[in-house]
Structure 1
Amino acid sequence: MSSNERTSGLTQLARDGFGELGDADALLTELVDALAMDRQEILRGAAEAGDPDAALSALARIARRDAPAVGGALRRVSSSVWRLLGASSGFADFYLRHPDELAHLTGAGAPLPTADELRAELTNAVRADADGFAATGDESAWVALRVRYRRMLARIATYDLGAEDGVDVLASVAASLADAAGAALEAALCVARTRVAGGAPGSGLFPREQVSATRLAIIGMGKTGARELNYVSDVDVIFVGGGSDELVEQVGESRVIDIATRLAVQTMRGISGMEIEPPLWEVDANLRPEGKQGALVRTLDSHLSYYDRWAKSWEFQALLKARPLAGDRMLGDAYVAAVQPKIWTSAARENFVDSVQRMRERVTEHIPPADVAYQLKLGPGGIRDIEFTVQLLQLVHGLTDDSIRQRGTLDALEALAGAGYIGREDAATFSRDYRMLRVLEHRMQLKDLRRTHLMPQHPEGLRVLARSSGLAETGPAVWALWEGIKREVREIHVRLFYRPLLSAVAALSSDEHQLSPDQAHDRLAAIGFHDPAGALRHIGALTGGLSRKATIQRHLMPVMIRWFADGVDPDYGLLAFRRISERLGDTPWFLRMLRDSSGAAERLTRVLSGSRYIGELMEWIPESVAWLDSDEQLRPRGGHALQEEARAIQTRHETVGDAMRAVRALRRRELLRLAFGAVLGTLTIDELAQGLTTVSEVTIQATLRAVRREIVAPQDASLDFSVIAMGRFGGAELGFGSDADVLYVYEANGIDPQRAHDLAIKLVSGLRSYSEDHRVPFDLDADLRPEGRNGPLVRSLDSYTEYYRRWSLSWEAQALLRARGVAGSVKLINRFMALADEVRYPARPAVQDLREIKRIKARVENERLPQGVDRARHLKLGPGGLSDVEWLVQVLQHEHAHDVLPLRTTSTLEALEAARVAGLVPDAAAQRLHDAWRLASRLRSANTLLSGQTSDVLPTDRGKLDGIGRLLEYPARSATLVEEEWLRTARRARRDFEKLFYG
């Protein structure tokens, strides 16, 4: 060969995927001589090999032993030879032992062998007769069986490797592998019968007629039972024994089981024992009752007795895939039929779902840490995550839906998606990823015909895997594909496998799975619905019809009804759920989220049955259901983010009316978010108050900007205008239903005073008008202004200055203690607050002013309480209520804040703590006053959330009290506890108040 020819030849080898060009060139030269074929003829199909170097090396080794066999195969089915030997050194070793088997290698067009063909091939290999006995029971029968099995395995592998897309043919290939395993067991059982039968007395063998009358069914479990087997995998089996009535009567059941056990042992040996020809795979019978410690073979009755009395949850999960595989078909069918009802009722066992989830976690925990990143089967995001998810969904829902009782993972996925138990998108992703993972697993196992589930750890191994699988071009690309699949599978697995809906459905009693109209009325009444007929109408409207939406609602409804019944007002909760469902219509994400979420469905039932305030708002903001699936979305949004959104709103809308509609929508949305947090317990009372205050501030600021843009002309731009928060708003202590107390102040800055005043009036009018919201009232209350309701609604800063220095009353100085600027001109706010400090923090407060504050407090208690209201139940003005704590703190601030600087705060509780630290309030009294103020605030907000209406009075209705208690995380039926805790707390606080305020 010339140097040019050699260079050209090496170039071709490189194009075909060879890595060791020099070695390949030498081996080709050897083959040319040995086979009497030219290089091009030998290399035909080499580019299709996953590892051409390994294939060429195998060809050379086999040719040294039998060159004609290699030459014949290359001339007949060259592509098949290269693909198979380039994917599997295990087959290279097989053909090295049996070169003549190359003559049976099929081409790419050959179909997969059928189950009947496989059974016939393998039983013919052992020359089985019509009674199921092999011609011989010696070791040659095992060798014949194993060689013939590998011949058929090569045919399956050739079909698989020659397919245009290995992912598309995965299911049929796996089914064929399972059929081959069943056929191998059938043939091995034929040999076992021959080995066990025909012995003389004392030989330990049994008469042929007794062996013939002994029945042994081999039940396929796991991937074998599901017809989704790997190339090299443990074949999980269970043996069921028995005999004809005559045999049992003649020799006794014990001897029959002895014979069946010997047959089982010999069958396993024929497949897994060490012989001249290597074992095929491990026959694993450890899924039998009692595992390794249990009898290898049991009668059908013994199996059923065990499953009824002692079986654990995982054993029923394993039985999900049970299928008669070999041996006595009638006995096998009887076994599978008998265990079916036990499988599909197993999810009702106590803690079934938890036990399955824990078993999956234990599997992961036992993976060696160094292997986790490479574990294709058992690791996070691997094959087991898909299988466990599918099996758990089947077992939980399969009790009432036989359409999902499928053995195979892919068939089950399709059925689960069709019935609405898993979203179509998730099912499609799982199906695609499962097939790809299995293709990778198959290629890795073909490599050495060895059981493995670990991805290659070296670049060369990844390169070969990429080429042989056809899933990627390069080693790094196939690793990136694996990483992407892992993330995708794990995300879906965690979301579906751990969703509370599964545990809830599993916990339902059998008659709760279907809401029969004949029984549902009484059941609904029994579990807490006050209007069962109305509830049935809502259920019917939600679940009626044949749409996918109705199907999913039917799955959800039994569990959600129970969750609604656990709530405060199940009737309203169900009604609100119906309205929201109708508002969302056919929105695809809504029911999918409730079904698949880690807790959204349960949270939704909780907020709807616990709060009319939430239910009414959700009807207008139904998309808020999505927040319930995210803890992050249930957190209050910060002031900066809300300000940015409000400013963006104003840039998008030209008119103040349009802008304010959007701002009102923003406010409603954020109030709903805060209400979710309050009901679900994700927010503290302090976070809630701050959140409500922030929403109010942003609303006022956005409204003021919009109104000012419409009212104040460019020539009047020097006008300064500000809004001062007062009361609980100023203290950042708002609750649900609280008014926003405010003052309005302006400064003319060179504008005609009358015009400035007129503009300020228009600004106030616009603020009040555009901030009105009939859905969630927002009352800007200016009653704390100088002279109260009789005084001007807005004043200039000079007017405030003049008034406070000449005519202000003690209550007006007291009101300023919680004044805080929230909107408008910062410069004007600072000047107003400097004025306020002079008034509210005097150096020497007049004694008569302090007396006047105390006199007014007594008058308020007597005159402002609504008629007919029990004073002790009024959370604001009653004894020990909000007013007692706030007035006491404000008197201490007015009297001491000039000298005790920490008292200069608008927060009631901060000021109370400052007073305690300063020694103005005893520690124990401060704690009791603190507890009373917080409890009153929480009760007040809970009352509004429960009823949707603002009230300062603790209800007397036991149902409402219980509802308030549930919102405050008391146990169910805690009406008395709530009432007693408030009265006790308020009574103690009142004693401290009277001693400190009037003393």
Structure 2
Amino acid sequence: MTPGRRSSTFTRLLRHGFTDPSGAERLLDSPELALVKADPVLLEALGATADPDLALRGLVRLLEAQPAPTDHRELLDTLIAAKPLRDRLLGVLGASAALADHLARHPHDWQELVTYEPRDLHPGVTEFERGLAEATDQVELRVAYRRCLLSIAARDVCGTTDVTQTAAELADLATATLRAALAMAEKEAPQDAQACRLAVIAMGKCGGHELNYVSDVDVIFVAEPTQGTDETKALRSATKLASHMMRICSETTIEGSIWPVDANLRPEGRNGPLVRTLSSHLAYYQRWAKTWEFQALLKARPVAGDKELGEAYTDALTPMVWQAADRENFVPDVQKMRRRVVENIPPAEIDRELKLGPGGLRDVEFAVQLLQLVHGRTDQTLRSGTTLKALQALATGGYVGREDAARLDEAYRFLRELEHRIQLFQLRRTHLVPEAEEDLRRLGRSLGLRTDPVAGLRREWKRHTGVVRRLHEKIFYRPLLDAVAQLAPGETRLSAEAARARLVALGYADPAAALRHLEALASGVTRKAAIQRTLLPVLLGWFADSADPDAGLLNFRKVSDALGKTPWYLRLLRDEGAAAENLARVLSAGRLAPDLLLRAPEAVALLGDGDAGGLEPRGRAQLEQEITAAVNRAENAEQGVTAARGVRRRELFRTAAADIVGSYGTETTPAEPDEGVLLDRTGNAISDLTAATLAGTLRAVVRETWGDTLPTKFAIIGMGRFGGHELGYGSDADVLFVHEPREGVDEHEAAKAANKVVAEMRRLLQLPSADPPLLIDADLRPEGKSGPLVRTLKSYEAYYRRWSLGWESQALLRAEPVAGDAELGRRFMTLIDPLRYPAHGLDDDAVREIRRLKARMESERLPRGADPKLHTKLGPGGLSDVEWTVQLLQLRHAWEVPGLRTPRTREALAAAREAGLIGAEDAAVLDEAWVLASRVRNAVMLVRGRAGDTFPTEPRELAAVGRYLGYGEGRAGDMLDAYRRTARRARTVVDELFYAG
């Protein structure tokens, strides 16, 4: 062959889509393929396949396998002459290496594709039974099964059938195969066949007429004794027949296997008997069945064995299926099942998971099935086991918008067809989109994406999964609005009763109230109502995803009532995607954040991405500047403190909203990966805000009575969690007050002024108000409640020198100036450093005294009736345990380890670890426990609107705390177990380091 001729063939092959034209050219140069090479029609047909190289190699193998030259020539002549055969055979060879293997082993089976008549286009069970009839053993059954599969695949890849018809044909072939296998089993054990009536019920995709090329075939067996046979013997015989039938289909022979028969959907799953009587099935479903088992029965249909018994089974169980939505916790059970499926996907595979991943096939199926179960109780047109037929019925009935149903139908068809093509290649059970370029190219071309098939496939896949994810939520909520929004006459709408039923199913406890809110928000023809109708479907979904959907919807109505006439409000929610979702999460997360927002609804602007500052906490200097400016504009101290409290309210909302969004996560903002980072940010924000509020209050009091200058220098020292930048939403502000007379000012006058400042600050901050209280607690001062509220620096020095006790040195570890005279604050810190960082640490007596105090506190201060294992402050492994352990390390070693000289617990713990005073693993255990306990306390305050040191007992509140901590619906028990486990590990470390170390 001349180089020029070779180059021409190479170019032709390249043009026809061959990726290895050199290899293809070598194959075509063989004498056996001279006709193929010379015939432009054959080359064009090869180029039209999903993988021309694969198709050519398969054709070569098939030709080589022909037993005689005449067979070889007959195949080529028929290919050239008959376009239907050419398209079918080459289409299969270009899409399925596994079917090419079958044809190479059974070289005459290509003739199955020659017939092209109307009766051949859509075969059913009868035609497939005819195709399997000659099989007398397992091996022959597998060959006959593959021969039938070959014809299904040929119609599929040529577009003669669409994806739903292909899936139905696969289910019919499975039905015929089950019947053939059962007949073989009965033939080998006639005595068992005579002892029982056995029915095979198809479940899952086989039952729904939507089977894959390669899939487990889910079944349930039901049996009854024949006349004269006792039940025990009949069940034993039926179990033998069922087991034998399963082996015939599942076992691997020289011709491979057909598919596994899976009976795990039966009552009690793998632990239950393989075969039951009808009465036993009924008893189980009436007493013990879980919600998902009724959901699975949606697709049940008799396919093999005793037809009358099979129909009796479905007739008896069908009414139970359509009562499942009345069960307690129906929707949470369905959601839990879906969530469990997603959680079991390996992280490395979730982005490639076509069936189970987000936006995948299972999302469509679960959404459709949930709507069927909710509305199918009263609407029998919805009772189909086939997903797309059910979706069409939902659209016809007005339960899903027609356009949405059409888009979901399109996405589902694409995903199913992609799944079929993936499985067809090797006839292996997989739902993972491959990663190799050649595989993606073949798949893209098989779906008709001929221009840049790899990029086209990725683009279409992403587009369709995105549609599924969006519509998955929308199809639940849009018809609710159609029921109440007084839309145009003639439009199909849900009845109010159906709308209520759906709200109940979605977790709304008071559907009547929810419908009233929807009507108030969305009724009418105003622009406001129109925008609300656009927003509410998505918002309702987010509310339903929370622990208290009713509260979320009610709070949204209140905010909308307050801001509905404000032009920027609805525009913000409509145009800034983050704002609407952030608002939904905040309004349904508990009481604190909504209460703060409803007192200042304009703070909704913080939830967007615009110029309002977003949810990023503001620093102390910025806060002090704003509060001081507001105080200076006020007419008197009371108005000044009111202004300061207004800023505090807004900033508390900002902090709480950021905390909720960071903890719950949204589509636009994933949950924080590091809970410690989130906690530190919250603690810093609240501590800075408290310091700025105290500074503003101090300024207001001084300004009203003394003008610009107080007769005495005055500083506020933060203590406890305040000094440690660790305040939570429900924390008091522990402080010490210190003053020092200015030059020339009488000490008595200075003390009088300082005490007046403290008294007035406390009075103003405690005035009745709807704002969250800011309680000043000065009980850590010298002499406690018996001592003066404020002292001079000299008085503190004298006291600490003569009378200071060990607990006071420990308390001073978390002291830090927070407001007032900065220089006086620094001098106070210099004064107390020798007490809290004693030279050469503590002697043994001091250590024993600290341990004694800690043990006494544990025994005396725990509230009566509280569960110690769940008390976040005083329980084993709680905040007190960790903090006292860290503080003991500070008292003993801070004199020699500078990193321990910090008021922050986590910083001190990290410094102790770096200095080798505590092992890395023990430090991690204590840190985890401290962070978790602190977050639980914050969660309780966010959810209940009042502080608490233990988990709530009310189920919705407990569930809301769980959501904040990252535990989804129905996992409150997991949360409590995790807390106990974490606290128990921490207590073990405390026992070793604090009590025994």
Q: TM-score, normalized by length of structure 1?
A: 0.58
Counterpart amino acid of 1:187?
Answer: A
Choose which of 136, 143, 146 in structure 2 pairs with 1:147. Answer: 143
How do residues 677-756 of structure 1 correspond to structure 2 at under 5 angstroms?
Answer: 681-682=592-593, 685=596, 691=602
How do residues 19-38 of structure 1 correspond to structure 2 at under 5 angstroms?
Answer: 19-30=19-30, 32=32, 38=38
How do residues 659-674 of structure 1 correspond to structure 2 at under 5 angstroms?
Answer: none
What's the offset of the Cα at 1:329?
A: 1.9
Seen in structure 2, the aligned counterparts of structure 1 residues 816 and 36 have a Cα distance that, compared at 3 Å, is closer
State the alpha-carbon separation in 1 of the partners of residues 446 and 582 from structure 2.
53
Q: Is the 8 A contact 2:559 2:598 kept in 1?
A: no
Counterpart amino acid of 2:459?
Answer: A
What's the offset of the Cα at 1:62?
A: 2.2
Seen in structure 2, the aligned counterparts of structure 1 residues 925 and 217 have a Cα distance that, compared at 3 Å, is farther
Seen in structure 2, the aligned counterparts of structure 1 residues 23 and 896 have a Cα distance that, compared at 3 Å, is same
Seen in structure 2, the aligned counterparts of structure 1 residues 902 and 685 have a Cα distance that, compared at 3 Å, is farther
Q: Deviations over 1:581-639 (max 9, x none)?
A: 888677763664465454599878767699889647648979949949999537999xx
1:935 is matched with 769
How do residues 287-326 of structure 1 correspond to structure 2 at under 5 angstroms?
Answer: 287-326=265-304
Q: Deviations over 1:205-248 (max 9, x none)?
A: x1xxx62573221111111111111111111111111244xx2x
State the alpha-carbon separation in 1 of the partners of residues 320 and 512 from structure 2.
37
How do residues 120-135 of structure 1 correspond to structure 2 at under 5 angstroms?
Answer: 120-122=129-131, 124-126=133-135
Q: Deviations over 1:259-308 (max 9, x none)?
A: 22222122222222223322111111111112222211111111111112
Q: Does residue 89 of structure 2 align to residue 84 of structure 1?
A: no
Q: Does residue 124 of structure 2 align to residue 115 of structure 1?
A: yes
State the alpha-carbon separation in 1 of the partners of residues 305 and 111 from structure 2.
31
What's the offset of the Cα at 1:490?
A: 3.5
Q: Is the 8 A contact 1:288 1:294 kept in 2?
A: yes
Q: State the SS of the aligned residue for 1:935.
A: coil
1:227 is matched with 209
Counterpart amino acid of 2:7?
Answer: T
State the alpha-carbon separation in 2 of the partners of residues 362 and 693 from structure 1.
35
State the alpha-carbon separation in 1 of the partners of residues 599 and 365 from structure 2.
43
State the alpha-carbon separation in 1 of the partners of residues 94 and 269 from structure 2.
40
- Which runs of no fewer than 5 residues in structure 2 stay unpaired? 607-625, 645-695, 716-732, 740-750, 774-942, 953-997
Seen in structure 2, the aligned counterparts of structure 1 residues 177 and 125 have a Cα distance that, compared at 3 Å, is same
Q: State the SS of the aligned residue for 1:5.
A: helix
Q: Is the 8 A contact 1:730 1:818 kept in 2?
A: no
2:705 is matched with 894
Q: State the SS of the aligned residue for 1:251.
A: coil
Counterpart amino acid of 1:324?
Answer: P
Q: State the SS of the aligned residue for 1:374.
A: coil
Choose which of 236, 257, 275 in structure 2 pairs with 1:258. Answer: 236
1:447 is matched with 425
Q: Does residue 641 of structure 2 align to residue 633 of structure 1?
A: no
Q: Does residue 117 of structure 2 align to residue 171 of structure 1?
A: no
1:556 is matched with 499
Seen in structure 2, the aligned counterparts of structure 1 residues 24 and 934 have a Cα distance that, compared at 3 Å, is farther
State the alpha-carbon separation in 2 of the partners of residues 626 and 321 from structure 1.
45
Seen in structure 2, the aligned counterparts of structure 1 residues 193 and 363 have a Cα distance that, compared at 3 Å, is same
State the alpha-carbon separation in 1 of the partners of residues 132 and 157 from structure 2.
27
Q: Is the 8 A contact 1:417 1:427 kept in 2?
A: yes
Counterpart amino acid of 1:230?
Answer: N
State the alpha-carbon separation in 2 of the partners of residues 677 and 313 from structure 1.
26
Q: Does residue 441 of structure 2 align to residue 463 of structure 1?
A: yes
State the alpha-carbon separation in 2 of the partners of residues 392 and 565 from structure 1.
18
Q: State the SS of the aligned residue for 1:263.
A: helix
Seen in structure 2, the aligned counterparts of structure 1 residues 930 and 547 have a Cα distance that, compared at 3 Å, is farther
Q: State the SS of the aligned residue for 2:704.
A: helix
Q: State the SS of the aligned residue for 1:242.
A: strand
2:962 is matched with none
Q: Is the 8 A contact 1:84 1:91 kept in 2?
A: yes
Counterpart amino acid of 1:87?
Answer: A
CA RMSD in angstroms comes to 5.3
Q: Deviations over 1:127-181 (max 9, x none)?
A: xxxxxxxxxxxxx4333332222222222111111118x8xx1111111111111
How do residues 945-964 of structure 1 correspond to structure 2 at under 5 angstroms?
Answer: none
Q: State the SS of the aligned residue for 1:232.
A: coil
Choose which of 69, 76, 79 in structure 2 pairs with 1:74. Answer: 79
State the alpha-carbon separation in 2 of the partners of residues 340 and 103 from structure 1.
44
2:185 is matched with 192
Q: State the SS of the aligned residue for 2:223.
A: strand
State the alpha-carbon separation in 2 of the partners of residues 967 and 628 from structure 1.
30
Q: Is the 8 A contact 1:80 1:162 kept in 2?
A: yes
What's the offset of the Cα at 1:577?
A: 5.0
State the alpha-carbon separation in 2 of the partners of residues 46 and 319 from structure 1.
44
2:218 is matched with 236
Q: Is the 8 A contact 1:216 1:239 kept in 2?
A: yes
Seen in structure 2, the aligned counterparts of structure 1 residues 383 and 53 have a Cα distance that, compared at 3 Å, is same
Q: State the SS of the aligned residue for 2:30.
A: helix
Q: Deviations over 1:877-902 (max 9, x none)?
A: xxxxxxxx999955763325324899
Counterpart amino acid of 2:141?
Answer: L
Counterpart amino acid of 2:124?
Answer: A
Rg larger in structure: 1
State the alpha-carbon separation in 2 of the partners of residues 435 and 571 from structure 1.
35
Q: Is the 8 A contact 1:221 1:323 kept in 2?
A: yes
Seen in structure 2, the aligned counterparts of structure 1 residues 552 and 278 have a Cα distance that, compared at 3 Å, is same
1:479 is matched with 458
Q: Deviations over 1:25-81 (max 9, x none)?
A: 222233636879844464351112111212211222222220515435524412211
2:864 is matched with none
2:105 is matched with 97
2:6 is matched with 6
State the alpha-carbon separation in 2 of the partners of residues 94 and 546 from structure 1.
60
How do residues 496-515 of structure 1 correspond to structure 2 at under 5 angstroms?
Answer: none
What's the offset of the Cα at 1:408?
A: 1.4
Q: How many residues align?
A: 675
Q: State the SS of the aligned residue for 2:348.
A: helix
1:203 is matched with none
State the alpha-carbon separation in 1 of the partners of residues 6 and 417 from structure 2.
37
Counterpart amino acid of 1:217?
Answer: A
- Which runs of no fewer than 5 residues in structure 1 stay unpaired? 127-139, 198-205, 506-537, 638-672, 696-727, 734-740, 744-783, 785-810, 821-884, 905-911, 940-965, 973-999
1:950 is matched with none
Q: Is the 8 A contact 1:90 1:446 kept in 2?
A: yes
State the alpha-carbon separation in 1 of the partners of residues 89 and 574 from structure 2.
58
Identity %, equivalent residues: 36
2:534 is matched with 589
What's the offset of the Cα at 1:330?
A: 1.7
Q: TM-score, normalized by length of structure 2?
A: 0.58
Q: State the SS of the aligned residue for 1:237.
A: strand
Q: Deviations over 1:443-475 (max 9, x none)?
A: 111111121212122111111111122246322
Which moves more between the two structures, 925-934 or 234-243? 925-934
2:871 is matched with none
State the alpha-carbon separation in 2 of the partners of residues 969 and 63 from structure 1.
81
Seen in structure 2, the aligned counterparts of structure 1 residues 897 and 254 have a Cα distance that, compared at 3 Å, is same
How do residues 367-378 of structure 1 correspond to structure 2 at under 5 angstroms?
Answer: 367-378=345-356
1:342 is matched with 320
How do residues 194-213 of structure 1 correspond to structure 2 at under 5 angstroms?
Answer: 194-197=187-190, 206=191, 211-212=193-194
State the alpha-carbon separation in 2 of the partners of residues 478 and 83 from structure 1.
19
Counterpart amino acid of 2:579?
Answer: Q
Q: Is the 8 A contact 1:817 1:894 kept in 2?
A: no
What's the offset of the Cα at 1:93?
A: 0.9
Q: Is the 8 A contact 1:634 1:677 kept in 2?
A: no
State the alpha-carbon separation in 2 of the partners of residues 217 and 886 from structure 1.
81
Q: Is the 8 A contact 2:395 2:405 kept in 1?
A: yes
State the alpha-carbon separation in 1 of the partners of residues 433 and 557 from structure 2.
53
